[in-house]
Every structure is written in C-alpha cells, then in structure tokens.
Structure 1
Amino acid sequence: MSSRLFRYSLLGVVALAVACLAYYLYYNSFYTLDLTRRDRHQAEEVVQSAFLMCQVTDRLLQKRESEIADQVQKALSVAGYPVLLDESKSWQVAIAGKPSTDHRVLPRMAVKTSGGQKRDLENLGEALRRFTGGEVTILQRVNETGDHLAAYCSISGVESSADHTRLIPARIGNGEKETCLENLDQGKTVLRPEIVEGTLQISYYYPIFADQKNIATLVVRVKDPDLERLRNDIIDLHIGPSGYVYALKGTGARCGQYQISFNGERDGENIWNARDASGRPFIQSMINEALALKKNPDRISVPIAFERYPWKNPGDLQPRYKTAAVVYFEPWDWVIGAGYYEDER
C-alpha cells in the first residue's frame, strides 16, 4: 500500500512539474512574443515620427526655395546669363571608378551680360555667392545623355579647378536616369537636402537653356537652420537601449549614401554594398523594400516595411539579429530606417 501511495505521489509531483514547465514555456513564449510586438510597434512609431518631421521641414524648405529662386534671379540680372562660345576649352575629367582622367574638349562657357559683354563664369559664381550666402557650382552639360561636368565650383579643390573637373553622370549603373537631372531637362528647378563635404545642406538646382536645350545647371548649396534642427532631432530618436534612426539616399548615383547616420559619425558614407553576417546585401534589400511601398489613401499612417538581418559587430562572439522599420520619403528620396537589436529588452 505504501509503495502504491508513493508511486501516486511521485506521479503527482511529476505531473505538477510538467504542468509548471508547460506553463513556463507558454508564458515565456507569450511574453517574448509580446516584447517582439512591443519593439516592432515602437520602431513603427519612431520611424513614422521621423517621416512626419521630414514632412514639416519640407514645407519650411519650400518657402526657402522661393527666397533662393529670387536671389538667383538677382544674381543673373547683375552678372549675366551663361552662354556657350564658339571657342573650345580642354578639360581633364575624373570619372568615378577610373584611375586616370579623360580628356574632353567642350565649347567654352562664359557669361553674357544684358549689355552684350562676355565675362568669365567666376563673375556669376561670385554674384550667386553674394546674393545667396552659399557655395556655388556651375555644371556644363556634356552630351545628349545628360552627363555634366563642373565648369566652376566655389569650393576650392572639391569639384573643379582651371582645367580639372569631375563627371556627373546622368545615369547610374543600372541605366536608371537621375531623377534630379530628369526634372532639369524639363525646365524644372529642384531643391533637396544633400550631403556636401560631410554636412547636410540645401541644394538648389536651376537649369539654364539656350535654343530650347539644357546647356547648364546652376547649383547653390546653403546651410539651413531648419534642416540642421531636423538632423539633430532625428539623431536624438532612439529605440530601446541602442536602437537609432538613420536616413539613406534611395535612388540615383548616391543610392545607399548616409544622409543622417548614428550620431552623425558616418554622414556621407555610402553603404550600398554592406552585407550582414550571412553575406546578404541587406542595405540593398532594405532600400528596395522601402521603394516598393505604396501609400494607401485609406490610411492616415505611413506605409512601413521591415527588414530583419543578422549583424556581428567587431568583438562580438556571435551575430545578433536586428530588425529595422523603414519608410520612403519621396520628396527627398530618403529611405528612413529605425533599427534595434531583438535581444535587447
């Protein structure tokens, strides 16, 4: 009898232990799932906040655009309008990915005043700097494809000198045309934030036409307090202990370039070819996911995609999984991401 009671007691203890284990596993999985949902929800909220902050700043920059447009017109009326002369000019042109420069011969570009006088491009460049308070690049169109070279640049040594310059291609590696240049061909001005020498600034593009053909583009780059405030506010956004928000260029020759990075430490760096711990080009996947998002007119919220990938920092013994919520801010061609480690609670 006692042995039978012992067996029943033992069975009861085992059953209780199994029940406790089952409850623990159920609760733990439910709790983990709940935390996962919470983290994703927080990432959604943060990345939507960044998107809305960009929307507000974009409206402010549109007002700034009209001011810059007026300043450019004043500079043109004072200094003159770019024209192509009958004489030629030789350039040594640096092309991305090529170790040596190419020799190009193009019509010399000058400025023609209202009185018919012809002056060097420097006269227009200095007038634009004086009226706008920014840095100036004058791009000369090279061919029908729409490639340009920097015929004048006020940033010393960055894009051009007296006879050395760099090529700005109209099409990127996959044959896609730069959206900005496409708009310029149609006679539209373009204003958008861009990284210039590691600093986020406003770039204003103004097309120049002669005989109904786009022959050049004036580019004015100015710093803006609203844009700087946005950058700082996005850097200050966090998810959990170490999650953060960033912005990348979505298309064009600068696709994958950091516009805003963690603490601003890698602004301007291009990470298009970055790979995760499994060797997958996760940035390319992330950007493609964001570009594929379609805005739903029936929803107030911003459409969001998620990218999950293993990441191994230097010094880590094992990769850790990260998840990023991403959105696409089309006016600036920005892919905005909010990423976090899944194992951080």
Structure 2
Amino acid sequence: MMTLRRKLTFLVALAAAIPVVIMIGLTLKAQENLVLQAKGELNLLMRTNLAHIARDIYALCDTVNDVVAKDLDMDLAAARRAMAKCGAPNLGVESADWDAVYPLTRQARRVPLAKFMLGDAWLGQSRDPAEHVPVVDEIGREADCVCSVFQLMNEKGDMIRVATTVLDETGRRAIGEVMPAVEEDGSPNEAIAAVLRGETFRGLATVITNRMFSVYAPTQDANGKIIGMLCVGKRPETIASIRKAISGIRIGKDGYVAVLGGKGRFRGSYLIAPKAEDEGRNLWDRTAKRPDGSEHHFIRSMVTNSVAGGGRAIHFEHYPWPKPGVTGAEIPEKTGACIYFAPWDWVICATLYEEDYHAAADKIESTMTSLAVTLSLAGLV
C-alpha cells in the first residue's frame, strides 16, 4: 500500500514531468513545421535561381541575335544591290534539269525547272568554287557571310538552292539542295512561309550540317511574282562561341544548361548537351513512370509548354535523369526551368539535381532534431 509520502512524491514528479512532456511535444511539432517551412523555402529558392539563369541566357541570346541581325540586314542589302546590277530576276523560257536532293531521304531526284535568269544571263549550275558565280561570290568576298539564291520549285513552296557560296562535304558548291515547305513533323517551314507572304525571315537555319544565323528574303520578277528567295547567313563559328559559353555553365554540383529544339525536324533534339557527343540526339519519346504507373513524356512537356509560353513564361519540370558518367546507381530526380527563344527555336533549360538542395534540407532537419533533443534534456534537469 502506497504511503502518503510516496503519493506526494509521485504527484510532485508527475507535476514536474507534465510540462516537460508538453514542451517536448511542442518542440517536436515546432521542429516539424520549421523543417517543412525550410524545405519549402529552399525549393522556392532553387526554382527562382534556375529561372534567373534561364532568363539570363535568354537575354544573352537576344542581345547576340540583335547584333547579328543588324549585320545580316546590311549583308542582305548588299546582296540585293549585287543582284540588281546583274539584271532583273526572271524565269527563262528554256528549262534545265536539276538533281534535287531532299533532306529527309538524301536521294537525288531529277526535276526540270525553268532557268533562273538575271537579266538575259542564266545563273547556271556551277559546283566549282573556283568558277565565278554572280551575286553570291560578290557578297562572299565583301562580307563575312555565306550567300545563296533559291528558286521556287512548285506550288507547295519547296525551294531549291541554285547558286551558293556554301560548300558541301566534298568541297563543291552545295547546289541542288531542297528546302521543303513542310517540315518532317508536318509543320510549315517558317522561313518559306514568311517568304511566300512577301516577308523577310530572320532566324537559325540548318545549312548542310551547320546551324547558321540566316536571313531569307523573297525574290520577285518584274511583275512582282515571287520566284525564289535570297539568303545570307553568318558562318557557324558565331554559333560555336555561344554554344561553348552555355555548355560551360554549371549549376550546383552537377547541374547544367541544355538546349532542345522547339519545332520542326529538331523538335526535342539536343542542340546543346552536357556531352558534345549527345548533340543531335532526339529525346522526344523519353518517358518516366508516374506513381500511378502511367507514362509521363517529360521531354514533350518541357518543349511544348515552353514553346506555348512564347518566351514570356518559365515552365518548370520535375523528372528523373541519370548523372553524366554515373552508371548503376538509382536515377536521381531533377528540376528544370525552361524558356523558349523563338528567333533560334531554342528551348533553354537550366537544370539542377534535386539532391543538391535536399542535402541542405537534410542538414536543417538534423540540426532541428538535435536542438529538440537538447531542449528536452534541459527540461528534465
């Protein structure tokens, strides 16, 4: 039977313990709330920083594009003057056969076309870079650019290069190359669509295997009918310097900036990749499993949502992605902040592995747990 003294001792101990238990509970609850708040703030900070990086690269591209566009406009004006000196563009009565090469099949198809004339002179079909070709060679000598003359092939709007300073892989002039009016994915070629409306197009274009800053302007005959287009482009070295600057950016420990194609034949393809050998690889069909077992096409989501944003909005994407050079481990999660730069058809993606900021969140949680234990022990003393 408990004596009165023992009862009093028990009640005193209980009275002392109750506040301690309450304090421990409140401390643990406060710790949980603070950790959740800290993780939320870190996540917001991560997304904000990624968005800033993506927008900074967008601004860099915009500045470069403005400078190059002004240079190309001057080159285009010079090309138009050179063409005017040679005579008015027109299609001759006689025709010539062309071995037209389409980019998708790379197979030549014989196509008869009216001769593209400047005044009374035919531009010809010269592939020899040592043989003088009017207009394009004048501009090639005067300006640091390439120059091409295209002829309209059909009602669809396909264009064929009939004179150029661009050389193919064999070192010959790359005439006979076709620029289709419709891209592989069924979308209209934006350059040709603009030219057929009588407008000038400025943007990135693929010339042979190189992406170039290019300007395409309609070429009209004496009656104002569009019979082709005149193109000037900056050499790929200009692009190479920008690619090098972007590919050298590192975010956190292992994060980086990548660039994907937004439309047409390069939609979902690596244009700038963390590893140079991956550039050109198409990621459009890359998927990840959702918790409910369904497939999430996260590359499609990144590209389509960014393009829809039109350069005004940042699209965030959460997705699994292996670390470059790391194999056999569990695939870590990433967050990407993406924005579309329409003049070059670039989807700029600033990406970070989430474990980089999870490490900071885990450290905060560990510190808060230690603090809770310390306070609890202090309450027992």
Which amino acid in the other structure matches residue 178 of structure 2? L
Structure 2 counterpart of 1:298: none
TM-superposed CA distance for 1:42, in Å, is: 0.3
Structure 1 counterpart of 2:320: 310
1:142 to 153, 161, 165: 153
TM-superposed CA distance for 1:72, in Å, is: 0.9
Which amino acid in the other structure matches residue 262 of structure 1? P
TM-superposed CA distance for 1:41, in Å, is: 0.7
Which amino acid in the other structure matches residue 166 of structure 2? I
TM-superposed CA distance for 1:282, in Å, is: 2.5
TM-superposed CA distance for 1:202, in Å, is: 1.9
User: Structure 1 residues 235-244 or 221-230, which shifts more?
Assistant: 221-230
2:216 to 202, 205, 213: 205
1:192 to 199, 203, 214: 203
* Correspondence 1:156 to 2:163: no
Residues 21, 59 of structure 1: alpha-carbon distance in 2 compared, 3 angstrom cutoff: same
> Would you tell me which structure has more strand in proportion to its own residues?
1
Summarize the alignment of residues 195-234 of structure 1 with structure 2, pairs less than 5 Å apart.
Answer: 196=207, 201-210=212-221, 211-223=223-235, 230-234=242-246
2:267 to 247, 255, 260: 255
Residues 60, 321 of structure 1: alpha-carbon distance in 2 compared, 3 angstrom cutoff: same
Distance 1:194 1:101 in 2: 21
Which amino acid in the other structure matches residue 180 of structure 1? A
Distance 1:184 1:46 in 2: 35
Structure 2 counterpart of 1:286: 302
Distance 2:330 2:348 in 1: 27
Structure 1 counterpart of 2:137: 126
Residues 328, 317 of structure 1: alpha-carbon distance in 2 compared, 3 angstrom cutoff: same
User: Structure 1 residues 14-23 or 66-75, which shifts more?
Assistant: 14-23
Distance 1:213 1:316 in 2: 62
1:56 to 63, 68, 74: 63
Which amino acid in the other structure matches residue 45 of structure 2? R
* Correspondence 1:109 to 2:125: no
Which amino acid in the other structure matches residue 231 of structure 2? V
User: Structure 1 residues 34-43 or 72-81, which shifts more?
Assistant: 72-81
Summarize the alignment of residues 94-105 of structure 1 with structure 2, pairs less than 5 Å apart.
Answer: 94-98=101-105, 101=107, 103-105=109-111
User: Structure 1 residues 207-216 or 303-312, which shifts more?
Assistant: 207-216
Q: For the Cα contact (< 8 Å) 1:79–1:127, is it kept in 2?
A: no
Summarize the alignment of residues 241-252 of structure 1 with structure 2, pairs less than 5 Å apart.
Answer: 241-252=253-264
TM-score norm. by structure 2 comes to: 0.72
1:338 to 341, 344, 350: 350
Residues 62, 147 of structure 1: alpha-carbon distance in 2 compared, 3 angstrom cutoff: same
User: Structure 1 residues 230-239 or 134-143, which shifts more?
Assistant: 230-239
Distance 2:309 2:174 in 1: 44
Identical positions, percent: 23
The DSSP-based 3-state class of the residue aligned with 1:292 is: helix
Residues 67, 258 of structure 1: alpha-carbon distance in 2 compared, 3 angstrom cutoff: farther
Q: Map Cα deviations across residues 29-67 of structure 1 (whole Å, 9 max, x no partner).
A: 333222211110101111111122223223323321331
Distance 1:194 1:110 in 2: 23
Q: For the Cα contact (< 8 Å) 2:338–2:349, is it kept in 1?
A: yes
RMSD after superposition: 3.7
TM-superposed CA distance for 1:152, in Å, is: 3.7
Q: For the Cα contact (< 8 Å) 1:245–1:339, is it kept in 2?
A: yes
Distance 1:263 1:336 in 2: 16
The DSSP-based 3-state class of the residue aligned with 1:309 is: strand
Structure 2 counterpart of 1:69: 76
* Correspondence 1:43 to 2:50: yes
Q: For the Cα contact (< 8 Å) 2:204–2:343, is it kept in 1?
A: no
User: Structure 1 residues 46-55 or 241-250, which shifts more?
Assistant: 241-250
Residues 188, 335 of structure 1: alpha-carbon distance in 2 compared, 3 angstrom cutoff: same
Which amino acid in the other structure matches residue 288 of structure 1? T
Q: Which runs of 5+ in 2 are unaligned?
A: 127-132, 290-294, 358-381
Q: Map Cα deviations across residues 51-98 of structure 1 (whole Å, 9 max, x no partner).
A: 222232233233213311222123314445554333333334444444
Q: For the Cα contact (< 8 Å) 2:72–2:234, is it kept in 1?
A: no
User: Structure 1 residues 29-38 or 176-185, which shifts more?
Assistant: 29-38
Q: How many residues in Structure 1 have an aligned counterpart in Structure 2?
A: 335
User: Structure 1 residues 243-252 or 315-324, which shifts more?
Assistant: 243-252
TM-score norm. by structure 1 comes to: 0.79
Distance 1:34 1:84 in 2: 66
Q: Map Cα deviations across residues 140-162 of structure 1 (whole Å, 9 max, x no partner).
A: 22211111233344333359978
Q: Map Cα deviations across residues 292-341 of structure 1 (whole Å, 9 max, x no partner).
A: 2267xxxxxx4211122122356142222111111222333332221111
Largest Rg, 1 or 2 = 2
Distance 1:263 1:97 in 2: 26
The DSSP-based 3-state class of the residue aligned with 2:266 is: coil
The DSSP-based 3-state class of the residue aligned with 1:262 is: coil
Q: For the Cα contact (< 8 Å) 2:212–2:234, is it kept in 1?
A: yes
